[in-house]
Structure 1
Amino acid sequence: MAVVVRAGAAPLWWSGVVAAGIGVLPPGLTGRRTGMLAGAALFLVAAAAVPLGRRGRYDVLARGAARAGKYDVLQDRAVTVRVWRRGHRWWLLLALALALGSAFVLPAAGGLLLAGLGTGLRLKAAWIGRRERAEQTLLWVRVDRLGPRGGNPVGKAVTGLRGTGIAAGDAAPGGARRRSAALV
């Protein structure tokens, strides 16, 4: 589940940083200082609001997680990230274009908002990872429940989660890539 949450964090963060960097160049209607201050406020609000959003639904699904069965289809981390990013690439490009366009009104504010959304998703994945470590269970969403575009890990189609041991799969708790110990 954390892998799906974390899949959007990096593209949003990097497109936000690029848009904020380019967005500082035009003076905008309000001026650079006002744009940067508004962007900083939007960054903080987004970074705080995203991890708190739908937390109750995450809790309900995590409490009801069933042990993954033999015939449950669970997807590798790399495949999940690739499917999510391909399914959402046009939305990500549209968000980047809107952030760049908003720079002519409030310089860098749209880019900082995107970066705040990416930071919030990363914080939400870290929260899920702490829960997974505490319960010693990796939480998975079945592939058929996510849909062809990667979907929402707590959307209407997701009726339950599956749990595996902490060492299962190629994802660490929180959706990060599992670090393998170097063989000496």
Structure 2
Amino acid sequence: MARGGQGLARLAVVVRAGAAPLWWLGVAAAGIGVVPEGVTGRRIGVPAGAALFLIGAAGVALARRGRYAALAREAARAGKYDVLQDRAVTVRAWRRGHRWWLLLGWAVALGSAFVVPAAGGMLLAGLGTGLWLKAAWLGRLERTGETLLWVRVDRLDRRGGRPAGRAVKGLRGTGIAAGDAAPGGARRRTAAVV
């Protein structure tokens, strides 16, 4: 980067990047997974899947909140020469880096349907829901502090994951209008020009 600036990716966008693929792969695996009777049968498989959905969603949504909150409190102001990465670039990097894990998870969820119908797919969908809930929580944190949170791209691993991992020593903050993603990592809605 010019003059010592850093490439920065939105924290909430990195967290949210896996939500849609996990959700849709989970829904597809659960839908297909209802077809085989499995070892346990559908009467056990579907309620077990619903329980796994709730456990997965809650576990992912609540995991490491203390770490995220601590990093947010200590966020330094972004520098003049820091480069803010576009939302689409961040999402693409995460999904490209995790594509084999996503496919493996989908294959395992499909395979588990022959033992417990639909349960693996519902768990996968729950993990995606948990990521979405965590990103929404980060969005509330950003709105409360009126600061968008950014993580240095070089502190993320090459796959674009682990936004609050051990390598992340701190976050950067910008004004609420910076970048092309709204608080929470969703696409920023622009007002129509009249």
Equivalent residue number for residue 141 of structure 1: 151
Deviation at 1:42, TM superposition (A): 0.3
Unaligned ranges ≥5, structure 1: none
Equivalent of residue 127 in structure 1, options 128, 133, 137: 137
Deviation at 1:119, TM superposition (A): 0.4
- The runs of at least 4 consecutive aligned structure 1 residues that moved more than 4 Å come to none
> In the alignment, does 2:133 pair up with 1:154?
no
Give distance in 1, aligned partners of 2:161 and 2:28. Answer: 26
Give distance in 2, aligned partners of 1:11 and 1:161. Answer: 26
Q: Deviations over 1:88-112 (max 9, x none)?
A: 0000000000000000000000000
Q: Percent identity?
A: 80
Give distance in 1, aligned partners of 2:184 and 2:165. Answer: 19
Equivalent residue number for residue 193 of structure 2: 183
Equivalent of residue 66 in structure 2, options 26, 39, 56: 56
Deviation at 1:142, TM superposition (A): 1.1
Equivalent residue number for residue 18 of structure 2: 8
Residue type of the alignment partner of 2:121: G
Unaligned ranges ≥5, structure 2: 1-10
Q: Secondary structure at the match of 1:140?
A: strand
Equivalent residue number for residue 76 of structure 1: 86
Give distance in 2, aligned partners of 1:74 and 1:159. Answer: 18
> In the alignment, does 2:127 pair up with 1:117?
yes
Deviation at 1:73, TM superposition (A): 3.4
Give distance in 2, aligned partners of 1:52 and 1:151. Answer: 17
Deviation at 1:72, TM superposition (A): 2.5
Give distance in 2, aligned partners of 1:61 and 1:86. Answer: 26
Q: Secondary structure at the match of 1:88?
A: helix
Q: Deviations over 1:50-95 (max 9, x none)?
A: 1110111101100110000023233111100000000000000000
Give distance in 2, aligned partners of 1:150 and 1:168. Answer: 21
Give distance in 1, aligned partners of 2:157 and 2:126. Answer: 27
Q: Secondary structure at the match of 1:177?
A: coil
Residue type of the alignment partner of 2:129: T
Q: Secondary structure at the match of 2:84?
A: coil
Give distance in 2, aligned partners of 1:33 and 1:92. Answer: 28
Equivalent residue number for residue 36 of structure 1: 46
Give distance in 2, aligned partners of 1:165 and 1:99. Answer: 41
> In the alignment, does 2:45 pair up with 1:46?
no
Equivalent residue number for residue 7 of structure 2: none
Query: 8-17 vs 43-52, which deviates more?
Result: 43-52
Equivalent residue number for residue 173 of structure 2: 163
> In the alignment, does 2:36 pair up with 1:17?
no
Equivalent residue number for residue 3 of structure 2: none
Question: Is 1:8–1:85's contact at 8 Å kept on the other side of the alignment?
Answer: yes
Residue type of the alignment partner of 2:73: R
Give distance in 1, aligned partners of 2:101 and 2:173. Answer: 30
Report the TM-score, using the length of structure 1 for normalisation.
Answer: 0.98
Question: Is 1:72–1:142's contact at 8 Å kept on the other side of the alignment?
Answer: no
Deviation at 1:146, TM superposition (A): 1.3
Deviation at 1:151, TM superposition (A): 2.0
